Amino acid sequence: MIRGFSDHAANERTYLAWVRTGIAVIAFGFVIERFNLFLLAIASTASLDAVERARIARLSGSVGRYEGAALIIGGLALIVVATIRFVRTGSLLDDTETHDARGLRLELVLSGILVLFIAVFSAYLVLG
């Protein structure tokens, strides 16, 4: 039997939750990228008048070209940080000494950046 199995299992469940979150963020980034391509294709059609074409092109403007890529990179960063945290926590669980909870700030900062990015993107869609 593995010593501290419940702690290792909790560490693995936390790791898998972070990986699922990273994959969801990456998938959302791909959806946004495809939607921007769709908007650009609609804007280039000849059946729309100039006002509608400009309005659709504005939705996929300068900000609209980069948020999908930013979400994809952010999701990859979440997975990398989760992997580092998983390996580090696994080695700390096997150690007999008591350790403090360092590194928690990085996860909080990444989560805060993700929430801030989604809030800014939502405001852009609502106001744009």
- Supply the pTM of this predicted model: 0.69
Q: Please check the confidence at residue 12 and state whether its pLDDT lies above 90.
A: yes
CA distance 61 to 66: 9
- Mean pLDDT in the chain? 80
Per-residue confidence (pLDDT) for residue 58, from 0 to 100: 66
For residues 7 and 93, the answer to whether their CB atoms sit within 8 Å is yes
CA distance 19 to 81: 10
Per-residue confidence (pLDDT) for residue 126, from 0 to 100: 79
Mean pLDDT for 42-47 is 66
Per-residue confidence (pLDDT) for residue 61, from 0 to 100: 61
Burial class for 101, CB neighbours closer than 10 Å (0-12, 13-18, 19+): exposed
CA distance 18 to 40: 33
Mean pLDDT for 19-31 is 92
Question: Using one digit for the tens of pLDDT, what is the confidence trace for 71-114?
Answer: 899 899 889 989 998 998 888 887 777 767 666 677 788 778 87
